[in-house]
Amino acid sequence: MDPAFQALWEHIRQRTRFQVEADSAKLIEESIEAVNGMLPVHPSRATSKPPL
């Protein structure tokens, strides 16, 4: 980040308020689609080789 912006942010961040609006149903639907599109995760397996 730009140092000038960081200095400004440090000065105003305590007085800054944020408001976020989200469509929960759409967020849930898109999250489900994203999770379903992920590669499967398989449990790890430990294997060993017999001593030489």
Which of 26, 9, 27 is closest to 18 using CA atoms?
A: 9
Residue type present at position 27? L
What mean pLDDT, rounded, does the chain reach?
90
Residue 25's pLDDT band, with cuts at 50, 70 and 90, is very high
Backbone angles phi, psi at 34, to 5 degrees: -65, -45
Which of 17, 38, 36, 34 is closest to 26 using CA atoms?
A: 34
pLDDT at res. 49: 85
Tokens 């942010």 map to which residue? 9
* pLDDT tens, residue by residue, 11-20: 898 888 888 9
pLDDT at res. 38: 95
Q: Which two tokens stand for residue 42?
A: 């398989």
